Amino acid sequence: MKIKHIYVMLLAGVLLFSSCNLYRKYQSDATVRNDVMGDVVNPQDTVSMGNMDWRSLFTDPQLQRLIETALTNNTDMRSAQLSIEQAQNSVKSAKWGYAPMLSFTPNATYAYQGGSSFSAQIPISASWQIGIFGQTTTGVRKAKAQVAYAEDYKQAVQVSLAANVAELYYTLVMLDRELEIEEQTEQLWEESLESTRALFDAGIYESPAVYQMEASVSSVKTEIIDLRNTILTTEASLCNLLAEPPHHIERASFGAFRMPEQLHLGLPVRLLDARPDVRMAERNMELAYYSTQQARQNFYPTLTIEGLFGAAFSPAQMIGQAVASLTQPILEAGKLSAQLKNAKLDQEKAKLEFEQALLDAGKEVYTYVHNCQTAGQKAELIANRVNSLQQAYDATSALMQHGSTTYLEVLTAQESLLSAQLSQVQNQYEAIQALINLYSALGGFGTHETK
């Protein structure tokens, strides 16, 4: 008997020692490499642009109203909020695992066999499954992690939505500017066509000159039609993000936007704090940890306490019963072992996905920083080009009025100026787009909730 007692004590000690990990809460070991964003980070710069309120960066009141409308009405945002509420309900459900289940099961029996008899019972039954090895606690912790994941997902939707609204808004502003340039070009070319016709009537030019100018005017008119159609479809896309039917979008002029003078990137670790997709990847590591913990807990027994109490009639008496049982899986060991191995592999996959999420985030920041810098470097050069071509066009037009040059030189000057002006607009748009992308990559648009 002594040997048996020693064996039982040793077995209990092994179970208790091996179950220490079953109660342990997840501790993040996520690390961020110092060079995750390449060479674009100033280690002394601790102010991150991603922490700026988007209203401070995008000061256009019309754009602000559009973003706020989208964040309120967009169906993806509303669906993300519902997912959070579902996850919160799952936490409440998991917490009920700490409490017993009660059920009220009245029954009555009537029998007739040479005489009648009647009996009735009004019992209340209770069943309490106690996770003595942390099964219930792990379920609650996992459910809470899923709430946090849903909240991070909502922020990711918010960042993407606000960035898309801003990008479409400035696309419309850019298209307005392109349309303005094309309409100015149309007017100039109409005037050139009239001048060419006058020179043709005077016998200075031949008919091909007139035909060439007419073709050029038709070409720019076609581009104007295409631009107006593109504006309508872009407005419809923006209205879709606002959860509204297609309509005209009020917007500012293209020159109203100003780039920030200095870009604050912050330290690499801020990527982990600010970017919702990185936090979601880290949250997946936590969920995988608790899944592994649950797979381990499946090897251990569960304690179930069941009880029955109440009253019985005919004959009148009180009834009561209590049973405790311990369930230990035996024949399922192979299945449980495979589940544990897969859970551990899922942990490894979650870690790899987190590392890749960091690399992707660093690459995006690196790319968008250089895109902003490139657009800034090109801006002055393109402006000089536009000014030079404008002077060349004015001089060539004046010479044509005096018959000192041909219509082909004027047309070439006009086309070169138009191309340079459109390049200037495109570069300004690329600068704005790079800024929007950089702000989003640093966790902007989602750091500050809509008031």
Which domain CATH number covers 261?
Answer: 1.20.1600.10
The DSSP bridge partners found for residue 104 are 124
User: Has residue 236 been placed in a domain?
Assistant: yes
pLDDT band at 258 (very low <50, low <70, confident <90, very high): confident
Residue 45: predicted pLDDT: 59
Contact 138, 297 (CB under 8 A): yes
- Tell whether the model's pLDDT for residue 19 goes beyond 80: no
66 versus 95: which is more confidently predicted?
66
Q: What angle do CA 195, 200, 205 make, to 5 degrees?
A: 100
Residue of 131, 128, 132, 133 lying closest to 322 (CA atoms): 128
Span 366-376, pLDDT tens digits: 899 889 889 88
CA distance 194 to 178: 24
In this prediction, residues 55-78 reach a mean pLDDT of 92
pLDDT at 93: 86
- Report yes or no on 166 lying in a domain: yes
Looking at residue 320, the DSSP 8-state letter turns out to be E
Give domain status of residue 89, yes or no: yes
* Cβ partners under 8 Å of residue 41, min gap 6: 265, 266, 267, 268
Q: Residue 274 corresponds to which tokens in the numbers above?
A: 């600010």
Residue 35: pLDDT band (50, 70, 90) is confident
**pLDDT, tens only, 171-220:** 999 999 999 988 988 887 787 777 767 766 666 555 676 777 788 888 88
Residue 327 lies in a domain: no
Give the Cα separation of 70 and 53 in Å (integer). 17
pLDDT digits (tens, 9 = 90+) for 121-164: 666 666 666 667 788 888 899 999 999 999 999 999 999 999 99
The mean of the pLDDT values for the chain is: 79
Residue 93: inside a domain: yes
pTM as predicted: 0.79
Q: How confident is the model at residue 401 (pLDDT cuts 50, 70, 90)?
A: low
* Lowest-confidence segment of 192-196, 299-303, 308-312, 411-415 by average pLDDT: 308-312
The residue segments making up the domain with residue 433 are 33-97+134-298+340-441
Higher pLDDT, 259 or 184: 184
Q: Which residue has the higher pLDDT, 413 or 322?
A: 413
In a domain, 257, yes or no: yes
- Going by pLDDT thresholds of 50, 70 and 90, the confidence category of residue 306 is low
Q: Is 129 part of a structural domain of the chain?
A: no
Q: Which pLDDT score, from 0 to 100, does residue 148 have?
A: 93
Cα separation, 322 vs 318, in Å, equals: 14
- pLDDT confidence of 11, banded at 50, 70, 90? very low
Average pLDDT, integer, range 404-422: 78
Residue 127 resides in a domain:
no
User: 15 pLDDT exceeds 60?
Assistant: no
Of residues 235 and 402, more confidently modeled: 235
Instruction: Give pLDDT, residue 77.
Output: 92
**pLDDT attached to residue 76:** 92
**How many structural domains are present in the chain?**
1
Q: How confident is the model at residue 9 (pLDDT cuts 50, 70, 90)?
A: very low
Q: Is the pLDDT of residue 409 over 60?
A: yes
Distance CA 444, CA 442 (A): 6
Q: Is 105's pLDDT higher than 50?
A: yes
